[in-house]
Amino acid sequence: MCICVDNQTPPPLLAAFQHDSPASEEGQQGEGAPTSCCDWSWGAIIWTSVGWSVSVGLGLLCCIYVATLHENDLWFSNIKEVEREISFRTECGLYYSYYKQMLQAPSIQEGLQELIHDNLTESKRTINLLQRMNIYQEVFLSVLYRLLPIQSYLEPVYFYIYTVFSLQAVYVIALYLTAWLLSGSWLAGALTAFWYILNRVDTTRVEFTISLRENWSLPFLALQVTAITCYLKPQLTTLQQVSTVMVWLMYVTTFCFCLTWQFNQFILLVQALVIYTLDCGDFITTAQVTTLYLVQVSSLLSVWLLQFCNSMILGSLVLSFIVAALFIRHCQAGLKTGSLLVRLGKLLLHSTMVLLLTITINYLAKKALQLRSDEHIFKFIKSKFAFGPTRDFDASLYLCEEAFGLLPLDTLERLAGTLLLYPYILTLLLLSGTLVAAAPKGGLAEERKGAGEGRAVAFRPDVAYNLLHTLFYGLLAFSTMRMKYIWTGHMCAVAAYGVCGTELWTLLFGVLRCNSKRLLRLVRYAVPIVMIGFLYYKFWPKLMEELSELREFYDPDTVELMTWISTKTPKQAVFAGSMQLLAGIKLCTGRVLTNHPHYEDKDLRERTRQVYQVYARRSPEEVYDILKVAGADYVVLENSICYERRHRRGCRLRDLLDLANGHIMDGAGENDPDLAPAAHPRFCDAIKTDAAAYAALFTRTFQNKTFHVYRLKKKRKKNTKGSSEPSVTQ
């Protein structure tokens, strides 16, 4: 694959999207004609304008599609406010509660102060929510809603969900532009958007997890990839003005991505490894490598400042890796010179030094910062790949969830059903082979410098970046299913590039010995049009059928619980229970919590493990003392957890607690030899018998088919006779 670079200076940024028009291609057929990177004829301008219009139209189509699915699944417009809030499940409810809290505050300033000095999210603690959590998007939206004149006709909840759905339009447009930049044809962008929408089950889950952080951040990551692709395009590397704009766009999008998702450091670490690999293979220049690294560092440090010097960012692996990579490269001159074996030896030594220095810097940073907030992630990784203990409670919580398991094979079957998988694999194989063939040659940067003198670039840097991006994030998706949403969207763009780009077809025609520019142009336009037509014919009726299915939100037990809490308990009452339920209680009732689903804090993880002892085999006195230490006034027990059957034996929450406590698990099956029978029955079940030992400490105040709520009685001081039974008052 050989891509020639023009020695002419193209006009500004839109040139990147103009070289694909049929008119411009007609003008390039003559032998020896200079390769023009842009054509400002009326035909080219109209063709490019159509491409931009189609991108916006398909983005809006995706936005309307997911919004309609959300409405049809819940009948969101017709249900009560409490039911709408309950529909924000698990951590989604927690994040949305801060948007609601900001709107209910007397002023924006007071609302911010409540978030900075919050004592409702964790009982007996005052925490800075803007430091602990990534909720600036909720703050921004609440301020915007207050300032805009829309309160009279748009409810706050609709302003929130419509914003998230609109970001899906941004996501699709970003993928569209990436495919367009890579292939030179906006038909690739259209094919990308079609694939993204048709593979909705595997590309997004926004319609039922609206507030999830990834739904805010992934559109910005896609925009960042578009900016990087444009920045690395050979035609634009000589344009200082365009490069500067792209660098700023990369910074802004990376900053927004980092600000909106707590997992930003791990996603950027994978991207930093992509940049490092490109650097080692000499596919991009030293200046470009440094720029990309500095964009990541500056974005992370900007977020660090906005999050009140959050130590997790300074102690992140990605910062340690970037510092190590830049330092070692500066100290190790002549890395990319010599024969193939010499270069491989140098790269091996170089990579070893970078790895050791990364580990050293990260270890020292965490020691200096006394950082332990992210250790559960590393415990999970160690346990997942059998490098650590399997009984660790925090790691087991992740390991037992399907979302954190390996990517199921039925995902590939669905992707193949929409014709996405086949061109993707072919493109991947072709580009990987070309990349491997180009890597040993080296000197790519020098070749690129001389491209204006007629020399050719062996492998386009923008293509190289996107190839490694999809490979690295594909490996991440296969290892952890939840991460597939980072991969599958970009997968659509890569597959569309393979269909609409020149590389696959040039290779095929070369094998068939029928090289013809007219035939190549015909195939590049005809094949995507035929594929889009086929996809429309096959899947449009299914989409219409899906959109015609009407359901309604129905969860009367949870509605009854929330209504009872709101009307029958004090506003300052503290509730203990499962993380998922407590997030809903915070949103629907505003009551104080003992724990919640935002797990990135060591003390909170320990408190959660203690509160969950209500589902273990512990004595009523032990459970009472644990809940009192956490500051609880009420504890909510869920039958769905106490008698859980969804997970297999060994992965039920009660099993994880038994293992952590050294107790034999329930049910038939093997137990490790070091486990012993528990001395007490399971608390969540035994308390329902109203035995004296339980009734002395807990009073049942509410129950239905799903939930049982108990109020903790107040202990009296022990009498002078030293009775062993605790004395309580109502």
Instruction: Tell me the per-residue pLDDT of 407-442, one tens digit each, with 9 for 90 and over.
Output: 999 999 999 999 999 999 999 999 988 888 776 665
Residue with tokens 């495919």: 179
pLDDT in tens, 376-402: 888 888 887 776 557 788 888 888 888
Residue 688 belongs to some domain of the structure: yes
State the sign of the Cα–Cα–Cα–Cα dihedral 46, 50, 56, 57.
positive
| Domain end among 495, 510, 544 | 544
Of 250, 231, 267, give the one whose Cα is nearest residue 302: 250
Say which residue, 535 or 446, is predicted with more confidence. 535
pLDDT(551) > 60: yes
pLDDT in tens, 239-268: 677 788 999 999 999 999 999 999 999 999
Query: Is residue 458 very low, low, confident or very high in pLDDT (cuts 50, 70, 90)?
Result: low
The band of 672, judged by pLDDT with boundaries at 50, 70 and 90, is: confident
Tell whether 526 and 614 lie within a shared domain.
Answer: no
Closest CA relative to residue 591, chosen from 612, 615, 575: 575
In a domain, 49, yes or no: yes
Tell me the C-alpha distance between 270 and 264, whole Å: 10
Place of tokens 């037990």: 557
Quote the number of domains for the chain: 2
H helices present in 501-599, as ranges = 503-512, 517-548, 556-568, 579-589
Q: pLDDT confidence of 721, banded at 50, 70, 90?
A: very low
Which residue, chain included where needed, has tokens 């509605």?
A: 559
d(CA 3, CA 662): 64
Overall average pLDDT of the 515-539 stretch? 90
- Same domain for 561 and 502: no
Q: Identify the residue with better confidence: 708 or 459.
A: 708
407 Ramachandran zone, left/alpha/beta (phi>0; psi -120 to 50): beta
Model pLDDT, residue 15: 54
With a pLDDT cut of 90, the percent of the chain lying above it is 70
Q: With respect to residue 146, please indicate whether it lies within any of the assigned structural domains.
A: no
Q: Looking at 533-688, which runs of residues are DSSP E strands?
A: 574-576, 592-593, 634-638
Q: Which residue, among 278, 354, 277, 279, has the nearest Cα to 317 in the 3D structure? A: 354
Query: Structure tokens of 164?
Result: 């998230």
Is residue 196 one of the residues assigned to a domain?
yes
Q: Is 137 exposed, middle or buried (0-12, 13-18, 19+ CB in 10 A)?
A: buried
The domain containing residue 380 runs over which residues? 3-61+164-253+261-315+371-544
Alpha helices in 370-453 (DSSP H): 375-384, 393-399, 409-417, 421-438, 444-449
Q: Where are the alpha helices (DSSP H) in 263-285?
A: 264-280
- Of 521, 544, 567, which residue sits at a domain end? 544
Which of these, 607, 699, 712, lies nearest to 124 by C-alpha position?
Answer: 607
Q: What is the DSSP string of 300-313?
A: HHHHHHHTTS-HHH
User: Residue 375: its pLDDT value, please?
Assistant: 82
Same domain, yes or no, for 514 and 647? no
- Tell me: pLDDT of 728 over 80: no
316, two tokens: 């992140």
CATH of the domain at 709: 3.40.50
CA-to-CA distance for 233 and 229, rounded, in angstroms?
A: 6
Closest residue by Cα to residue 552 from 88, 80, 160, 63: 80
The string of pLDDT tens digits covering residues 560-575 is 999 999 999 999 999 9
What average pLDDT score do residues 476-485 get? 94
Asked if residue 200 belongs to a domain, the reply is yes
The reported pLDDT for the residue numbered 442 is 53
Residue 89 placed within a domain: no
Strands 714-715 and 728-729 come out as antiparallel
Q: Which residue has the tokens 């003559």?
A: 30
By C-alpha distance, which of 374, 372, 254, 365 is closest to 303? 254
611 and 653 share one domain: yes
pLDDT digits (tens, 9 = 90+) for 354-373: 999 999 999 999 999 998 88
Confidence of residue 668 (pLDDT cuts 50, 70, 90): confident
DSSP calls for 532-546? HHHHHHHHHHHHHHH
State pTM to two decimals. Answer: 0.91
Residue 353 has pLDDT above 60, yes or no: yes
- pLDDT tens for residues 161-191? 999 999 999 999 999 999 999 999 999 999 9
**Rounded Cα gap, residues 682 and 644, in angstroms:** 13
Residue 619 sits in the same domain as residue 477: no
Q: DSSP letter for 386, please.
A: T
Pinpoint the alpha helices (H) of 75-152.
Answer: 81-86, 91-104, 108-116, 129-132, 136-147
Are 536 and 565 within one domain? no
- Residue 710, judged by CB atoms within 10 A of its CB (0-12, 13-18, 19+), counts as buried
pLDDT tens for each residue of 579-628: 999 999 999 999 999 999 998 899 999 999 999 999 999 999 999 999 99
690 DSSP assignment: T
Q: What is d(CA 430, CA 423) in angstroms, rounded to the nearest whole number?
A: 10
Query: Are 364 and 313 in contact, with CB atoms under 8 Å apart?
Result: no
β-pair type (574-576, 592-593): parallel
User: Do 565 and 512 fall within a single domain?
Assistant: no
Any domain includes 583: yes
Q: Comparing 504 with 303, which gets the higher pLDDT?
A: 303
560 and 540 in a common domain: no
Mean pLDDT of 108-137: 96
pLDDT score recorded for residue 722: 44
What is the overall mean pLDDT for the chain?
88
Has residue 363 been placed in a domain?
Answer: no
Task: Report the range of poorest mean pLDDT among 114-128, 504-518, 588-602.
Answer: 504-518
Q: Are 464 and 435 in contact (CB under 8 A)?
A: yes
Q: What is the dihedral sign for C-alpha 587, 79, 206, 111? A: negative
Boundary of a domain, candidates 490, 521, 544: 544
Domain identity same for 594 and 518 = no
The string of pLDDT tens digits covering residues 17-75 is: 655 555 444 444 333 333 344 556 788 889 899 999 999 999 999 999 999 999 999 99
Compute the distance between CA of residue 236 and CA of residue 32 in angstroms, rounded to an integer.
22
Tokens for 225? 């990839």
- Looking at the fold, whether 595 and 527 belong to one and the same domain comes out as no
Across the range 125-153, mean pLDDT stands at 96
pLDDT over threshold 70, residue 478: yes
- Of the two residues 162 and 674, the one the predictor is more confident about is 162
Between the alpha carbon of residue 252 and those of residues 247, 270, 311, 633, the distances in Å are 9, 19, 22, 45
Same domain, 522 and 579: no
State mean pLDDT over 194-217: 96
Q: Which residues on adjacent β-strands are paired with residue 714? A: 729
Same-domain check for residues 183 and 227: yes
